[in-house]
Amino acid sequence: MRGRRFRAGDVARRTTAVLLVVLAAAMFSAVARAAKAATATWQRAAVTTTSLQRIDGFGASGAWWPNDVVDFTPAAQEQIGALLFGRAGIALSSYRFNIGAGGSLSDPVRETQSFLVRPGVWDWTRDPGGMRFLRLAHDYRVPTITGFANSAPPFWTTNRRVCGGRLVAADQAAYAAYLARVATHLRRAEGITLSYLSPMNEPDASFAGCGQEGMAVRVSRRASLVGAVRRALGFATPTRVLADESSLLGTQLVPEAPGWAPEAGRSLGALAHHGYDYPDGRTFRRAASLATRLGKPLRMTETCCFDGRGFGPDYDPTMGSGLWLANTIWQALAQGNETGFDWWTALSPELGCDPAALPACPEVANGDGWNDGLLYYDGNFRQDGNEQVYVTKRYWVLGNFSRYVRPGSVRHQVVESIPGVRLLASHRLTRWTVIAIDNRAPGSAGLSLRVELPLVPANRLGVLQAFQTGASSDLTPVGPPRTDAAGTGFFIHLPSQSVTTVVAPTIKRG
């Protein structure tokens, strides 16, 4: 062979070079495939400039657990206040104070003392448990406090009881004056101004079984009752009247409100309802349309106790019930344009098991308890001395909303199409809050989400934070989302069966 003679070293170097080229090509191909795969898993969502309703906040009720918990030690009561209202807890921005009617019930735990001993005679030392936690809510500066009554005192009902009757039409003004007197006393003697006063509760029923206070109010009488309460309060007061707290959204509030709300006019501050028909999207949208026609804000003021099919006994402290609550809040706000969301009761003794005998039982679902609380306590605490409070995933999930979507936030429209994932976005002052609910099947691969925010050109995102609730996390801080190259969007990883809140402050470019 003519030409250059090859040495062994030359052969080795050429072989190495070829191998390096081949290896580099293989590595480039692998990186390209990985990049393509990663790009394929990124899901995109965009928050638009379209602003929707103002959100007043998230809360729970103070019925009827203060009747028990008033006997806890002061330290245990303070702990409960911190869990409900403190920033290290879930920072509820709404609290519902039950104005009791007095009288006897078939369930003594639900009996709530009335400040009115008899017409003209008042005792403001009554209901010490209710007042204890109302004061704690006030001390924590909870911005929205509602006083709600399930029944008039027995002097003004048709059967002279706090259940099973109706409000006597001729005594409507007396009842309205009574509610206004309670509100005035709270403001002057306690420094507590009620945001709302609610004179009726689930008025299509009289609660004839007397398991709780309740009175029926005919549709034809509801507007005049609202007007009477507003007149008794005086139009200069900041307290507004909220009504009618119907039990069912689709078959009570939506068809009945047109028969009384227009007549109530300016006396009605907000249109309120409960959610015990567990409304679907169509029903929420009908309610939103009704509220728009009436020119009134819509508010969900009570729901609980979903057993997987409807209202019924079930105790589930797990993420299964937590996700149900997250989706219910999403429906109320995104489909119903609701301005606020209140869970039924903050605490409950309905564990369905004995934690003194089985300390771990509050962590396990059972069919004997009820999904009526965010927190639970031992109903036998007076006998066994157990004042421990048991936490559910519902508590933490509500905190994903209540801690970070503060009063005055404005919801914005979100454009996305991600199977199994729901998003809610809101803006307040210089901060965006995005909540992602991942409903995908347990064990599904993590989902990578890119969210674009409608920042003006002069602004960019600052340091982001994310908080996650899932099977093994409780509003736990997770790795901060990274912003995109433009500084107007962020990337976040979502595990299946989780709720993630991203707090995204904006700052001036500079």
DSSP 324-378: HHHHHHHIIIIIT--SEEEEEEEEE---SS-TTT-TTGGGS-BSSS-S-EEEEE-
Per-residue pLDDT at 3 exceeds 90 = no
Kindly list the domain boundaries of the chain, sorted by start residue. Answer: 41-51+409-508, 57-402
Per-residue pLDDT at 439 exceeds 50 = yes
Helix (H), strand (E), coil (C) string for 105-169: CCCHHHCCCCCEEECCEECCCCCHHHHHHHHHHHHCCCCEEEEECCCCCHHHECCCCCCCEEECH
Q: What is the pLDDT of residues 337-378, one digit of tens each?
A: 999 999 999 999 999 999 999 999 999 999 999 999 999 999
Q: Up-side HSE of residue 29: CA atoms within 13 Å toward CB?
A: 6
Per-residue pLDDT at 321 exceeds 50 = yes
Q: Which of 348, 292, 326 is nearest to 398 (CA)?
A: 326
Residue 42 to residue 46: CA distance in whole angstroms: 13
**CATH among 2.102.10.10, 2.60.40.1180, 2.10.60.10, 1.20.1600.10 for 41-51+409-508:** 2.60.40.1180
What is the chain's mean pLDDT, rounded? 92
Percentage above 70 pLDDT, the chain: 92
Residue 240 three-state SS? strand
Percentage above 90 pLDDT, the chain: 91
**CATH among 3.40.50.300, 3.20.20.80, 1.10.8.100, 3.40.640.10 for 57-402:** 3.20.20.80
Residue 257 to residue 74: CA distance in whole angstroms: 43
pLDDT bucket at 235, cuts 50 / 70 / 90? confident
Position 449, amino acid:
L
pLDDT bucket at 510, cuts 50 / 70 / 90? confident
The reported pLDDT for the residue numbered 41 is: 63
Per-residue pLDDT at 333 exceeds 90 = yes
